[in-house]
Structure 1
């Protein structure tokens, strides 16, 4: 099966400092990858390569069969869905209008551009798929953070992409908003079986149950990569975040707790007495 994304030995250097070093990632149709790591591990940098936003300093990246460096990045980005919770929209657009901007790959509607009836119908179907049919005419400033996230997922699907990138989509969501978002991602997986996704997070609780693969990054290097059950283990996550944790999976979802350290008996000075403790 031809990959939708292949990054081979990529290194990214900024101001003489390596941000990524020799990282390889291959994503095939129908796979749902998680990029995990602590702050500064290189997750967002790798995602920018996946989205044809930047070039690697060394190594090669092929997105949808096209190699970066030999293709117009702006044209290529039109075929990759990108969900960024920091979407820079400032206008009070309706949900349906925000979703339609996915066709023009723009933040605001382009002057004199009008969607076709078929495109408007597709936007309506995607809005309903993401559970927002009752909010299709709501304006952007009135949406909750979770509703904005689901709107942006619908927007990313408008050009019928083969690859969707999600950059910490649960940022700023409360518990209910996060769960609705993750339910929507699992619905998306079921309704678009050939679609591939790459989701960046540093919270395992934010991973959808349908996650199939994972890449752990630490200090710009790949610590582990492959099928999710092989990669997401207590030992691997402890190494990734440099903290001892216990990882559990129940009903397809993950939870993490710090490992309990064995308490040691306090060593008080021999002169310490009850009388001293009350003075």
Structure 2
């Protein structure tokens, strides 16, 4: 077990084209923690996630990913050690679920010509396909998969290099009710099967938070309003402030939901 954090963000500003997208954001993520980045559209969640995934540099401040400081390290090499799930990833040819998962080893969109996975890699692909509830779709080609099945296949793909960090950018977007529930159920199983894995998930819907979420950061206008354990952060008061709308947060059976705040009766 490494003592150093999986992610360490210190006083980061991100300026793009003269616009301040993130301001003085700090975040520490340790092994086994599952963070949610919450906030309205345009709050800076995706900008922060791209930095955590070693796709962007901070303008000011420091970011260390897996102990390596951005700006002093080969970003492409660092990205191979991060499980980044891009919901827009699409293979050009009609690969099967099994083949898409295997492309996680080479970090390519297609299977590499003349490349052969090892027996261990094939076994790992089978384990992850089963873990994400896709065994029955093992040989199904990409074009006929549902959006939810594609999303879970991409999570399995991201886990193939055995990363210590999994990044999820609005993984439940566009899913119907069944697709969302299957995704959350599988993320729950995954987190228990990989207790050392750390994850960071971006969403603006509390209903999409996996029950295993341990920590949260609320962002608004590029600033972190509050950050810490999920029970301290995901409160009616904090969520109402982040989204500038009075709400009542309900948590039952490990899941969150939002209700309109009842007007006070005088």
The TM-score with structure 2 as length reference comes to 0.97
CA separation in 1, counterparts of 2:69 and 2:208? 31
SS at match of 2:210: coil
1:90-142 per-position Cα deviation (integer Å, ceiling 9, x unaligned):
32100011001111111111222221121111101110111111111000001
Larger Rg computed on CA atoms: 1
SS at match of 1:138: coil
CA separation in 1, counterparts of 2:255 and 2:154? 23
- CA apart distance, 1:40: 0.2
Contact 1:84 1:168 (C-alpha < 8 Å) held by counterparts: no
CA separation in 1, counterparts of 2:166 and 2:13? 22
Q: 2:168 aligns with which of 154, 166, 169?
A: 166
- Count of equivalent residues: 264
- CA apart distance, 1:255: 0.2
CA separation in 2, counterparts of 1:218 and 1:114? 46
- CA apart distance, 1:89: 2.3
SS at match of 2:181: helix
1:208-257 per-position Cα deviation (integer Å, ceiling 9, x unaligned):
10000000000000000000000000000000000010001000000001
- CA apart distance, 1:262: 5.8
CA separation in 1, counterparts of 2:178 and 2:44? 29
Residue matched to 1:11: 13
CA separation in 2, counterparts of 1:20 and 1:240? 15
CA separation in 2, counterparts of 1:211 and 1:196? 10
Residue matched to 1:59: 61
CA separation in 2, counterparts of 1:262 and 1:142? 51
Q: Does 1:140 align with 2:142?
A: yes
1:152-211 per-position Cα deviation (integer Å, ceiling 9, x unaligned):
110011000000000000011000000000000000110000000000000000001000
Q: 66-75 or 107-116, which moves further after superposition? A: 107-116
Residue matched to 2:128: 126
CA separation in 2, counterparts of 1:88 and 1:39? 24
CA separation in 2, counterparts of 1:87 and 1:46? 19
| RMSD, aligned α-carbons | 1.2
SS at match of 1:56: coil
Q: 254-263 or 12-21, which moves further after superposition? A: 254-263
- CA apart distance, 1:263: 8.8
Residue matched to 2:179: 177
CA separation in 2, counterparts of 1:89 and 1:217? 33
Q: 1:36-75 to 2 correspondence within 5 Å? A: 36-75=38-77
- CA apart distance, 1:88: 3.0
CA separation in 2, counterparts of 1:209 and 1:262? 31
Residue matched to 1:273: none
CA separation in 2, counterparts of 1:133 and 1:71? 38
- Structure 1's consecutive aligned runs of 4 or more residues displaced over 6 angstroms after TM superposition are none
Residue matched to 1:267: none
The TM-score with structure 1 as length reference comes to 0.93
Q: 187-196 or 112-121, which moves further after superposition? A: 112-121
Q: Runs of 5+ in structure 2 lacking a partner?
A: none
Q: Runs of 5+ in structure 1 lacking a partner?
A: 265-279
Q: 57-66 or 108-117, which moves further after superposition? A: 108-117
